[in-house]
Structure 1
Amino acid sequence: MIIYFLLSVALLSFYAIRKRITSFRPYAVGNRVFSTASLTATILATYYGGGTMMSYITQFSDGIFWVSWRIFGVMAACFTLSWLGMRMGKFMYHISMAETMGRAYGKYPRIITALLNICYSTVLVAMQIDIMTQAVSICITSVSPLFITILTTLMLVTYAIFGGIRAIVLTDVWQCITFSIIICLLACFMFKQTDRSFGQVVAFTAAQKKFGLSYLLLHDRKLVATLRYVSTFFYCIEPAFVHNIYMASSPQQSKKAFLYAGILGAIIMICFSLVGLFIFVWVPSNLSEIEIWDYIMVHTSPLLKGIICICVLAMTMSTADSRLHICAVMISYDIVPNILPMRLRKKLSFIYHYRIAHMTILVLATLSIPLALSSNYFIASHICRFYGRLYAPIVVAPFILAVLGFRTTQRTVLIGMVAGALSVFAWLEWVYPLLKTTDSIFPCMLVNGLVMLVVHYLWPDQKRIKEPNDNHQLINQ
């Protein structure tokens, strides 16, 4: 089953690779001919990584807040990006979020945006590989997990290198369809394992203390719950998701794609929640996360084990390939040209951008595999979360202000970014001991934006950066 699934992905990627790419823009964002359905599937495939399958459904016992936060989170993130997409008409010719920051504020904000996301995405790719290895080792004992992991990683690296965004979109659509269907089938199977009616399952869950309505806002930690809900509006405003706006043919299409992704994503998350609910009712309550999976594997058929493994492979591959692609685009287009001297920068052609993107994917994949296989998942996940919490306070506020039409000097933006970063560390030092939460995305992002506005209007000689002519820029690219 796994071989058939990987062969289907290989055939789709081969179909995409056979079309010759003659410039960097089609490689990076396509020719803006993707359908709304394809963009929606790509957004969902990037959003749902393997951690959703391996961790979320076994953490259902954490209570009603955890469930509502995850369902609300996918809708809030996609609806925010849908709102931003409608206001990005003047940026539609761009290739990356880092480029938009650079056109609005200058070279250094562009490089900072790219570097932070590359670090974050590299660790995230390593986490997907680690989850892939765990899933294969849990579900299949007859084949080496390392062999399947390396084979799958080599496959996604190959089509990401040679097929560009076209191959990624085609494979993401298939992978999104695959894991969406499988999670629905898995919910039906787990329901049968409970040997109870749906009403009995709901009654059993409602009797648990953590599933009372008072725990929707964490009972006595309402401020913490509010911060977590608010953070969901902003943590997906980063290059891997904003990239879909540049792939759209118009702001209206990007708005529709993210709107549909929010609705369908909530439905998929509800299906994940149902799987978690049925596992919560079926599996003994005193088991740890790994023990829960061991219990499931003991009481399931080989057919279901293969289905679960394919679901995890589809989710990890669809997230990893998108992350590798956006990293390649930002290094070859946003970082390298801006750190080279002007005389060398003028010599950079499509071929050089293309080759740098190839090397980037190879290097990042080479770094991610040993990182995933040698590091502890707990450590990797904490590093990933730290970069995620640091990225939004530094980059998201200037980006939103740029989309809304705010322009200022590079110095002002850098001051705001430094203020945002310092506020994250200040939160960990002084606020965390009081609230016991690291959900500082919104307050620290607000600090960044307010500092930028104050410096812009109170600091003398603040002049707006002159933007390049959009039509001229479009012709040159």
Structure 2
Amino acid sequence: MNYFNVDAIIVYAFLLLILLLGLWAGKNVKTIKEYAIANRAYGTGILTITMLATFITGSQSIGYIGYIYDDGILPVIPIIFCRAIIGFLFIAHYISPKILYFEGCLTLAEVMGKLYGGMARTWIGFLGVLYCLAFVILQIIWMGYIGELINVPNQWGMLLGGAFLIIYSARGGMKSITITDILQFISITMLVTLAVNVLIHKIGGIDNIFNKVPTNTFKIFQNPNFKNYLVYCLWGAFPSYLVSFPFIQRMLMAKDKRQLAKSQYIGMSYLTIFYMSLTLIGLAAIALKTIGDVNMPKQGSRVFIYLVEAYFPVGIKGIISIGLLAAVMSTADSFLHSAGILIAYDVVQPLLAKKYEVNVLRTSQYATFFLGVISLGVALIYDILPRVQYGTMDLGKGINILRDFVAVVFTIPLLAGIMGLKTDAKSFFVSMIATFIAFFIGRLFLPDLWFMPMVIAVNSITFFATHYIQNKGFVTVKRGTVVLS
């Protein structure tokens, strides 16, 4: 097998450039604030780019094309309308104006500590590490399949890509990640642009794509999966991912609420165009199958990989591969970075501060490195192509269950606290325990479709009911005059 073909060399050069750029950007990091949020030094453009690069995962992009291939344009509703538009508008209108009341915080767990006390901070710090590592593992697995596009064995692809992102993420923190995100964002944009243009040229124009696609592809209400996607819309609009650990860090990087809101609006606009382009790729795959490509995979999650292998020439395939790799790495490094800071800053330091002086910066760097090695090891064990979205993947259910459980535990209490609900530790811990019980029972007795909506409902009801009973009504606070927690 030729490991040094033209496409492979393009990918190797990209990986080396990412590594050198990341190490250079992070060489002078001296404080935990610099390591965690880069001293809030970046403008709106860079803040938006690092947010978008983190948001766009490799599995999300390839998975979305697969869903278009399987179910027609129906996935547009939960992904573009609910997640990209409603989700970002909600953050811009309701979270951006108030997140800066927590100026000085470095992590989501620290924000939760201010709202619900030190014990909540430690719990969210620990659970957050598990949540972040689930994302890191899944992205590293995708590196293996991207490697196969350039004739590199699956495990070698994971080892090479995983090792590089671990090194620069651990060394330079947010400074390294932000500067590499810029290059990765450019690569992702190039990936989509090139892929759309190549496929349009292959079919003979956009008009031909729509003419060759069967009419039932465009059915929404008559689609047999319409009811399922209504439930998916609830999960798509639930903003757990948008307020998860690396995204709260990016919000805390903003200089003011106007800059943060502006980055959300720009991000929403970009993602709308981005997902519409991916929709076009999915429709092109359907058109190619209709006009006679008998080798087109039956499984939607494998369609984009097949398109790259079958329709993209040498050189272009390498550029597409670095775009896919960029989408994977820009998400993996952000979540790995968050995990390292959470364990050092929100778990180890609070627990040991009374007896020992903890060098939080150094501990975060070591923690990031070792958690990265653990994630890489787990990824090498689970050599299965994941279908991440909507909980339908094959990869050991435990990773998805763990991630979704943590997402439900922190989302409602975090949003309620940021938006001004009077907070106390009891409401948080009662809802967390109830969520755990609901997760256990729901996994045993409920179908996958209704499992997550039920768990979200249980968390919300127990959280707000506990608050209402304790305060004999719903009570809000005025920032600056009331001490939280």
Amino acid at match of 2:67: Q
Aligned residues: 455
Structure 2 residue 262 is the aligned partner of structure 1 residue 256: yes
Instruction: Go from structure 1 to structure 2 and tell me whether the alpha carbon gap of 1:226 and 1:132 turns closer, same or farther (over 3 Å shift).
Output: closer
Distance 2:224 2:403 in 1: 23
Q: CA deviation at 1:64?
A: 2.2
Greater mean alpha carbon deviation, residues 417-426 or residues 118-127? 417-426
Distance 1:330 1:238 in 2: 12
* Unpaired stretches in structure 1, ≥5 consecutive residues: 471-477
Distance 2:435 2:451 in 1: 17
Q: 1:182-220, CA deviations, whole angstroms, 9 ceiling, x for partnerless residues?
A: 21111111122224x423322443612x52131589445
Q: CA deviation at 1:440?
A: 4.1
Q: Please point out which of 352, 358, 366 is paired with 2:365.
A: 358
Match of 1:475 in 2: none
Amino acid at match of 2:467: L
Structure 2 residue 274 is the aligned partner of structure 1 residue 268: yes
Instruction: Go from structure 1 to structure 2 and tell me whether the alpha carbon gap of 1:438 and 1:393 turns closer, same or farther (over 3 Å shift).
Output: closer
Instruction: Go from structure 1 to structure 2 and tell me whether the alpha carbon gap of 1:226 and 1:341 turns closer, same or farther (over 3 Å shift).
Output: closer
Q: 1:53-99, CA deviations, whole angstroms, 9 ceiling, x for partnerless residues?
A: 43322332222221332212122332232230211221021101100
* Unpaired stretches in structure 2, ≥5 consecutive residues: 1-9, 387-392
Distance 1:217 1:294 in 2: 26
Q: 1:234-253, CA deviations, whole angstroms, 9 ceiling, x for partnerless residues?
A: 44221111111111111221
Distance 1:304 1:102 in 2: 48
Match of 2:85 in 1: 75
Q: Percent same amino acid among aligned pairs?
A: 22
Q: Please point out which of 44, 51, 58 is paired with 2:59.
A: 51
Distance 1:440 1:45 in 2: 31
Match of 1:34 in 2: 42
CA contact (8 A) 2:78 2:229 kept: no
Match of 2:5 in 1: none
Instruction: Go from structure 1 to structure 2 and tell me whether the alpha carbon gap of 1:262 and 1:430 turns closer, same or farther (over 3 Å shift).
Output: same
Q: Please point out which of 286, 299, 320 is paired with 1:280.
A: 286
Q: CA deviation at 1:321?
A: 0.8
Distance 1:53 1:88 in 2: 29
Matches within 5 A, 1:140-159: 140-141=150-151, 143-159=152-168
Q: CA deviation at 1:455?
A: 3.6
Residue 55 of structure 1 aligns to a residue whose secondary structure is: helix
TM-score by length of 2: 0.85
Distance 1:291 1:102 in 2: 43
Residue 315 of structure 2 aligns to a residue whose secondary structure is: helix
Q: CA deviation at 1:45?
A: 0.8
Structure 2 residue 342 is the aligned partner of structure 1 residue 372: no
Structure 2 residue 411 is the aligned partner of structure 1 residue 399: no
Q: Please point out which of 303, 314, 326 is paired with 1:302.
A: 314
Distance 2:417 2:450 in 1: 33
Instruction: Go from structure 1 to structure 2 and tell me whether the alpha carbon gap of 1:331 and 1:469 turns closer, same or farther (over 3 Å shift).
Output: farther
Q: CA deviation at 1:221?
A: 5.0
Instruction: Go from structure 1 to structure 2 and tell me whether the alpha carbon gap of 1:406 and 1:87 turns closer, same or farther (over 3 Å shift).
Output: same
Residue 64 of structure 1 aligns to a residue whose secondary structure is: coil
Structure 2 residue 103 is the aligned partner of structure 1 residue 92: yes
Q: 1:4-27, CA deviations, whole angstroms, 9 ceiling, x for partnerless residues?
A: 222332342243133x22321111
Matches within 5 A, 1:114-153: 114-137=125-148, 139-141=149-151, 143-153=152-162
Q: CA deviation at 1:381?
A: 6.9
Structure 2 residue 343 is the aligned partner of structure 1 residue 343: no
Q: 1:391-423, CA deviations, whole angstroms, 9 ceiling, x for partnerless residues?
A: 233111111121122233323321122223333
Q: CA deviation at 1:325?
A: 0.8
Q: CA deviation at 1:29?
A: 0.8
Structure 2 residue 359 is the aligned partner of structure 1 residue 323: no
Q: CA deviation at 1:453?
A: 1.9
Q: CA deviation at 1:320?
A: 0.9
Instruction: Go from structure 1 to structure 2 and tell me whether the alpha carbon gap of 1:356 and 1:423 turns closer, same or farther (over 3 Å shift).
Output: same
Residue 248 of structure 2 aligns to a residue whose secondary structure is: helix
Distance 1:216 1:98 in 2: 42
Greater mean alpha carbon deviation, residues 32-41 or residues 83-92? 83-92
Distance 1:381 1:258 in 2: 34
Distance 1:147 1:163 in 2: 25
CA contact (8 A) 2:68 2:74 kept: no
Greater mean alpha carbon deviation, residues 53-62 or residues 248-257? 53-62
CA contact (8 A) 1:16 1:166 kept: yes
CA contact (8 A) 1:412 1:455 kept: no
Instruction: Go from structure 1 to structure 2 and tell me whether the alpha carbon gap of 1:374 and 1:340 turns closer, same or farther (over 3 Å shift).
Output: same
Match of 2:119 in 1: 108
CA contact (8 A) 1:29 1:247 kept: yes
Residue 35 of structure 2 aligns to a residue whose secondary structure is: helix
TM-score by length of 1: 0.87
Matches within 5 A, 1:130-279: 130-137=141-148, 139-141=149-151, 143-195=152-204, 197-205=205-213, 207-208=215-216, 210-215=217-222, 218-220=225-227, 224-231=231-238, 233-279=239-285
Match of 1:334 in 2: 346
Match of 2:401 in 1: 386
